[in-house]
């Protein structure tokens, strides 16, 4: 299956279990892979036969900047569900990274990754 990949989308949101995460907020990074047949768009050079990246970006942004959630697992599920509902994709893989997760030690980010398919 072909893929459209949106990587490193950064947004500010208020998700987390700790009270300060929900009041101060923090940066989240989202990677998204959309699986679909890109041959018709590639052969015709017609935007209507593929997915508009800007619309996907706006959708992801609305979820991350939207209602606070305790878990990034929930953020990822909301993104995957919205993508499958609004775009003609066979599957969606969502990775939500949390660079400032409240954990001891040094790390680049902590994340969850889920893959959901159309039923």
pLDDT in tens, 4-42: 999 999 999 999 999 999 999 999 999 999 999 999 999
Average pLDDT over residues 104-114: 95
Strands 26-36 and 2-13: antiparallel
Catalytic positions? 98
Q: Where are the domains of the chain?
A: 2-117
Q: Which strand (E) or helix (H) includes residue 112?
A: strand 110-117
Give the global pTM: 0.95
Q: Which CATH architecture has domain 2-117?
A: 2-Layer Sandwich (3.30)
Residue 119 has pLDDT above 90, yes or no: no
Average pLDDT over residues 88-116: 96
Rounded Cα distance, 11 and 58, in Å: 11
């Amino acid at each position: 299956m072909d893929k459209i990949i949106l990587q490193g989308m950064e947004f500010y949101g208020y998700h987390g279990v700790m009270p300060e995460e929900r009041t101060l907020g923090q940066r989240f990074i989202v990677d998204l892979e959309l699986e679909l047949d890109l041959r018709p768009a590639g052969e015709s050079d017609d935007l209507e036969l593929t997915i508009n990246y800007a619309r996907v970006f706006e959708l992801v942004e609305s979820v991350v900047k939207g209602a606070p959630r305790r878990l990034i697992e929930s953020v990822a599920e909301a993104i995957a569900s919205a993508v499958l509902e609004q775009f003609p994709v066979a599957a969606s893989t969502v990775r939500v990274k949390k660079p400032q997760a409240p954990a001891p030690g040094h790390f680049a980010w902590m994340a969850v990754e889920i893959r959901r398919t159309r039923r």
